[in-house]
Amino acid sequence: MTIETIEVEGLATPVSRIGLGTWAIGGWMWGGTDEKDSIAVIRRALDSGVNLIDTAPAYGFGASEEIVGKALADGYRHKAVIATKVALEWQDGKVFRNSSPARIRHEVEDTLRRLRTDYIDLYQVHWPDPLVPIEETAAVLNDLRKEGKVRALGVSNFSPAQMDAFRRVAPLSTTQPPYNLFERDIDRDVLPYVKQHGLVALAYGALCRGLLAGRIGVATSFEGDDLRQHDPKFRAPRREQYVAAVKALDVFARDNFDKSVLALAVRWVLDRGRTIALWGARRPSQLDGLEAAFGWRLDDKAFAQIDAIVAQFVKDPVGPEFMAPPQRLLAA
């Protein structure tokens, strides 16, 4: 299988255009995890040519990074481009934004220990912190880059204006926004910015929390702390609309490309520009069909037909805003 790659400024190794997303591997907000399966899925991804592993300290309060570190032991580290994040803190199971230099300095050492590595390929600010000037955050990250602890810098959930502020102080290689064929806000501003400045966009939620994998129905239930219990897309009456759209998109994909809706959803992200699709998986079997995303393309006619299908069925669209963590209280 030949996996498409893309060059990312600051990284010597070309990066696979599908990256393994490991939020669910951390267990938190996804109903738990299985470490053995998680290690197996990371190694399968690497053996398949997917070299980008995207993680974060907040994914399971360190659990995801620890599992990634274990998976990359025994000779796998050289195969991986590790993308992790910084600037969230947690207390009593609640997450808050904190991109202060002191917090970043503390976090990077914990992250390196959990990942069992002496450098991070791509270090991303997880969410902008309105209590800390972006320039201060960028400056300490640039220091980490100069010290060799970080190879390249990225941001996540930043607007173009916020990226401008960051770039005035430090080199910026990537941005990570939510993006899939149901959630397209970045088409208006972030994607044009990416193209203009030669960045790469890592699209998280490329399968829209599993909705675009084609296996979630109207009656599918979610247990434990699974965030989809609180996702407006998975509540009536919206769920019926989105499930109907997925079924119609699956028919379209099979009739026109002999592909599944999952392959269509990933290809849609890849054909929107300088993009990488983050594919979340917790078990090796959830990587089945990886190769189906490559070797074909969507043209303008196909994009228009997809738009028409979504508009036909989704009458009450909603974005991913429910996932945004709160800022710290001023007294904290």
Q: What is the pLDDT of residues 140-194, one digit of tens each?
A: 999 999 999 999 999 999 999 999 999 999 999 999 999 999 999 999 999 999 9
CB 218 within 8 A of CB 233: no
Q: 272 or 216: whose pLDDT is higher?
A: 272
Is residue 303, in this structure, part of any structural domain at all? no
Is residue 267, in this structure, part of any structural domain at all? yes
Report residue 332's pLDDT band, with 50, 70 and 90 as the boundaries: very low
Q: CA separation (Å) from 74 to 35, 48, 78, 79, 272?
A: 16, 17, 10, 11, 37
**Environment class of residue 204 by beta-carbon count within 10 Å: exposed (0-12), middle (13-18) or buried (19+)?**
buried
Is residue 322, in this structure, part of any structural domain at all? no
Q: Which pLDDT score is estimated for 221? A: 81
Count of domains in the chain?
1
Is residue 204, in this structure, part of any structural domain at all? yes
Please provide the average confidence, as pLDDT, over all residues in the chain. 92
Q: Using CA atoms, how far apart are residues 287 and 276, in angstroms rounded to an integer? A: 16
Q: Which pLDDT score is estimated for 30? A: 47
| Res. 328: pLDDT tops 60 | yes
Q: What is the pLDDT of residues 48-101, one digit of tens each?
A: 999 999 999 988 888 999 999 999 998 999 999 999 999 998 877 788 899 999
Is residue 282, in this structure, part of any structural domain at all? yes
Is residue 328, in this structure, part of any structural domain at all? no
Q: What is the pLDDT of residues 17-52, one digit of tens each?
A: 999 999 878 655 445 567 899 999 999 999 999 999
Best CA proximity match to 273, nearest among 221, 201, 169, 224: 201
**Which helix H or strand E contains 18, and what residues bound it?**
strand 18-21
Structure tokens at 92: 């009593």
DSSP string for 186-225? GGTTHHHHHHHHT-EEEEBTTTTTTGGGT---TT----TT
Q: Which domain CATH number covers 87?
A: 3.20.20.100
Does the annotation mark 59 as catalytic? yes
Domain containing residue 114: 11-213+262-294
Q: Which pLDDT score is estimated for 159? A: 98
Is residue 239, in this structure, part of any structural domain at all? no
Q: CA separation (Å) from 102 to 97, 99, 109, 165?
A: 13, 8, 12, 20
Is residue 321, in this structure, part of any structural domain at all? no
Q: Using CA atoms, how far apart are residues 87 and 4, in angstroms rounded to an integer? A: 31
Matching residue, tokens 């270090």? 123
| Sequence letter at residue 4 | E
